[in-house]
Every structure is written in structure tokens, then in C-alpha cells.
Amino acid sequence: MTKAWSDRFEKGLNPFIKVFNASINFDIELLNEDIEGSIAHAKMLAETKVITSKEAKLIEEGLKEILIEYHRGSFKAGVDDEDVHFAVEHRLINKIGDIGKKLHTGRSRNDQVATDLRLWLRKKIDRLDDQVKKFQLILLNQAEENLNTIIPGYTHLQRAQPVSLAHHLVAYIEMLERDRERLLDVRGRVNTCPLGAAALAGTKVPIDRYLTAKTLGFENICNNSIDAVSDRDFVVEFVSSASLIMAHLSRLSEELILWSSEEFSFVKLTDRCATGSSLMPQKKNPDVPELIRGKSGRVFGHLQALLTMIKGLPLAYNKDFQEDKEALFDTVLTVDNCLNAMTILFEEGIEFSRDSLSAAVISDFSNATDVADYLVIKGVPFREAYQLVGALVKYCLEQNILLKDLTLEKWQEFHPSVSQDIYTKLLPENVVASRTSQGGTGFRLVKEQLVVWRSKLAK
């Protein structure tokens, strides 16, 4: 087998340290990108006459065969190879002989791993963006079906004011849109090519960094060779954006968990995405949103781990960077799975209980603000109206009745300006419809927003 280290080394590695040092068990994930990067590098070396085009062709063919072996499952790599970069190089030399030894000219594993990681992440960002969009569309479908469904709106988890369910769901579409903007923003900085920075200082081999960058579809090259090999900001930024996606999914999960409880009963879990209890036969558990809420913790943990990993590192490359991969890979996998699970949940795992929702919104004091607003229109200063309604709510609570149950006589005793129309004003549908300020929950405004989102997401 090809030796990894120079002849300076006389003794082999301690067997435990060999395993401790190796990353092959997880960085094999980068094999596609490693080969893609190596083919681009070999082509460039031929273009700049560092190797012959015949040599480059042999290298390219060998690398492509390795890719086939990998996908067929016959590519065998182990801790003796240390990492994916060595594994591919060793296999190449094994296949095509001495010409394979020319591939590593003018580069180092330091710029190679940074290149692989950027190529890998760029693809994943595109996939995640698609996944987020897909979920936005599912939310939009639900929102369109529920424009006229009214749900209690909360602040401090206390009933506040009724809102259109569509309005509530569109709030998540907005959050997810910011998530997509962040992903796109990070993508711009991921899409810069470090290849050719070599170990840290560049190389005297006459390479063409713009050529490899172009072949690999990078927007630009990293300008400073030291920064090129020591920059993991893009990993941190990505995991930070991923953390916000998870935070959003987790908040939605929390709502679904509450809503599906008997106490709320706003949502029914279908059999498709709920599980039972091994002991209590009556139970149906919201495992999917619970898992999503739970998994947010591991992504936040990765963010913390990455920041801690880089904070004390001197320039340039340090082996600590090897620790970036599992954090990044697990983040991508977790976010991808959670988006998928949440999409399935909204497609077939939940049903809004419209009856319980309408029962909920007529049996509370969430129309109290509307009484105050009613008095304001009749000329009562808001703060005074607010105090009056407070006293009225207190009276109702003592009598164990709702505002709608008050007789007109009682209303007029409370304030002479109140007339019969108060009863229609207090109906939940009128309460919602009357919130006509821009961005509010008035049905007409929400409907406009739904149209805007439908065309935005059609692009």
C-alpha cells in the first residue's frame, strides 16, 4: 500500500492513535466532491502543462472508476487510509500506478478538504432551500383552506384576540422565507474556491486557480491563501441559519403539541403520523412534533461546538478542523429530515378541528378590545374605555357570563352610547374582519397575502 507519510517516519502509528486520528468513517461522505475536485485539479494541471493531457486523462478515468466502485459498494477504505483524500489517492495509485502520484502536485489536503466541504455544502443548501419551499407550499395550501377558520390568538399563552388561522400559518411562511434568504446569503460565501492555496502559502507550481474555480462552478476564489485554508466561517454561518430553521420548526411543533392536547383540541392527529402508548390504550401521541422540537437541541449544540472549536485556533490549518464534519453533516441530515417530517405532518398527519375552534372563539373574552374600540368610536378616550371594559369583564366573570350574554339594558347602564349593534360587533368573524390595518388579520388583507405568496412561491 502507498505510504501516507514521508520517509522521515520510521515507525508506524500506535494502533489506537491510528483510529483516533482517522476521519475516513465520516468524511467518506465527501467522496463525490473529492473526486470532482481532483478531476478539476488534474485538468488544470494539464492545461498549465504541469502534467501531460494524456496523464490527466488517465487520472480522470481512474477517478471516475473509483466513483463507480464507490457507488457499487466495492470501494474499500479503512483507517489505514486515514481520510477520504488519502483513500482516493491511494486507490488511484493502486489502479493507474505512478502517474497517480502526480495528482497531488500543487495542492495540499488543507485546501482540498476546504474545497470538498464547500462543494458538498453548496449542494445541500440548494436541497434544503427546496425542502423549505416545499413546506411553505404545504402551509400555504392549509392557509388557503382556512382563511375563514378562526383560531384564538394568544400572547403570554393567554387568550388575546381571535385571528384567521390562515394568518397564523402565514406567519410561519414568513419565518421560513427569512430562513431561505439566510441560506441564499450563506451560499454566496460558501461558493468561493480555496483550491490552490496549498498548505497555507500558495505554491510555486504554475497553477491556474481561476480555472479550477470555474470548472467547479465557484463564483470566485479565496483571495488570501492563509484565510482560504483556515476559514470555517461558512460552516458556522450555515449551522447558525440551520439553527433558526430548527427554532422555527420547534415553535410550530410546540403549537401542534399544545393544539392536539385534549385541553386545546384545535387539531386532531391522524393515524398516519401519531403513535400509541404501550400501556394506556386511549392515547395518541404527537411524536413527530415532539421529535422535531427535541432535535432542535442537537443542531444548536453543533453551533456551539463549532464556535468553540474555532475560537482559539491560530492560523492556518489545524487538525481541530476535522471536527467540523460530523457537526455539519448531522446538521444537514437533521434539518432535512425534520423539514420532511413536518411537511408530511401537514399533508396527512393533522386535521384542524373546525368545530372546536369555533366553539373556542365564542366562549371567551377575546372580543373585549373590540368593546373598548367601539366606545372609542363613540368618542370615549381609549384609556377610559379600557378601564370601563375591565370593570365590565370583572362583572361578567362574577356573573359567570360572557360579554355577548349581557342585556342591552346592562350595556347601556355600563355606557349610554352602546346600542343594539354591539352584539354583531362582538361576533368573532366581525372581530377578525375589523382588523384592517396593513399586516393585520382582517380576512380581506389575509386573502391578499395568500395571493401574494401563491405567486411568489410559484417562481
* In the complex, least distance from residue 55 CB atom to ligand ARG, rounded to whole angstroms: 25
Considering only 141, 224, 275, 322, the residue that binds ligand ARG (CB under 6 A) is: 322
Nearer to ligand ARG by Cβ, of 111 and 237: the residue is: 111
The single-letter code of the amino acid at 150 is: I
Per CB under 6 A, does 8 bind ligand ARG?
no
Number of residues that bind ligand ARG (CB under 6 A): 10
What gap in Å lies between CA 323 and CA 306, rounded to an integer? 8
Q: Is 277 a catalytic residue?
A: yes
Q: Please tell me whether residue 415 adopts helix, strand or coil conformation.
A: coil
Phi and psi at residue 232, in whole multiples of 5°?
A: -125, 15
Per CB under 6 A, does 234 bind ligand ARG?
no
- In DSSP terms, which residues pair with 275 in a beta bridge? 285
Q: Of 6, 156, 278, 455, which is the active-site residue? A: 156
* In the complex, least distance from residue 2 CB atom to ligand ARG, rounded to whole angstroms: 16
Structure-derived torsion over alpha carbons of residues 179, 184, 186, 191, reported in degrees to the nearest 10? 160
Nearer to ligand ARG by Cβ, of 318 and 434: the residue is: 318
Considering only 321, 374, 411, 443, the residue that binds ligand ARG (CB under 6 A) is: 321
Site for ligand ARG in 77-106 (CB under 6 A): 83
* In the complex, least distance from residue 86 CB atom to ligand ARG, rounded to whole angstroms: 8
Nearer to ligand ARG by Cβ, of 56 and 327: the residue is: 327
* In the complex, least distance from residue 320 CB atom to ligand ARG, rounded to whole angstroms: 8
Nearer to ligand ARG by Cβ, of 48 and 322: the residue is: 322
The single-letter code of the amino acid at 118 is: R
Q: CB of 317 within 8 A of CB of 227?
A: no
Per CB under 6 A, does 319 bind ligand ARG?
yes
Output the DSSP codes for 289-353: HHHHHHHHHHHHHHHHHHHHHHHTPPSS--GGGGGHHHHHHHHHHHHHHHHHHHHHIIIIIEEE-
User: Residue 76, CB half-sphere, CA atoms under 13 Å: how many?
Assistant: 4
Mark the segment that binds ligand ARG (CB under 6 A) among 184-192, 319-327, 351-359, 398-406: 319-327
Q: CB of 441 within 8 A of CB of 432?
A: yes
Considering only 34, 96, 110, 453, the residue that binds ligand ARG (CB under 6 A) is: 110
Q: Which residue has the cell 494524456?
A: 54
What gap in Å lies between CA 383 and CA 387, rounded to an integer? 6
* In the complex, least distance from residue 82 CB atom to ligand ARG, rounded to whole angstroms: 7
Q: Of 261, 277, 363, 419, which is the active-site residue? A: 277
* In the complex, least distance from residue 38 CB atom to ligand ARG, rounded to whole angstroms: 14
Q: What share of the chain is helix, strand, coil (3-state, %, to 5)?
A: 65, 5, 30
* In the complex, least distance from residue 40 CB atom to ligand ARG, rounded to whole angstroms: 18
Residues 6+ apart with CB under 8 A from 146: 164, 165, 166, 169, 352
Q: Is 41 a catalytic residue?
A: no
Per CB under 6 A, does 337 bind ligand ARG?
no
Q: Between β-strands 150-155 and 158-164, what pairing exists: parallel, antiparallel or unpaired?
A: antiparallel
Mark the segment that binds ligand ARG (CB under 6 A) among 109-117, 217-225, 404-412, 438-446: 109-117
- In DSSP terms, which residues pair with 220 in a beta bridge? 192
Rg of the chain's alpha carbons, rounded to an integer? 31
Element at 193 (helix H, strand E): strand 192-193
Per CB under 6 A, does 109 bind ligand ARG?
yes
Q: CB of 125 within 8 A of CB of 238?
A: yes
Nearer to ligand ARG by Cβ, of 13 and 211: the residue is: 13
Nearer to ligand ARG by Cβ, of 30 and 163: the residue is: 30
Binding marks (x or -) toward ligand ARG, 12..51, rule CB under 6 A?
-----------x---x------------------------
Nearer to ligand ARG by Cβ, of 315 and 359: the residue is: 315
Distance from CA of residue 326 to its chain's centroid?
Answer: 17
* In the complex, least distance from residue 124 CB atom to ligand ARG, rounded to whole angstroms: 17
Signed CA dihedral, 401, 404, 407, 413: sign only: positive
Considering only 317, 352, 374, 411, the residue that binds ligand ARG (CB under 6 A) is: 317
Nearer to ligand ARG by Cβ, of 110 and 366: the residue is: 110
Give the C-alpha distances (Å, rounded to integers) separating 164 from 146, 177, 293, 364, 452.
7, 20, 25, 16, 17
Mark the segment that binds ligand ARG (CB under 6 A) among 107-115, 170-178, 371-379, 405-413: 107-115
Q: Between β-strands 350-352 and 220-221, what pairing exists: parallel, antiparallel or unpaired?
A: unpaired
Residues that are catalytic: 156, 277
Q: Which residues bind ligand ARG (CB under 6 A)?
A: 23, 27, 83, 109-110, 113, 317, 319, 321-322
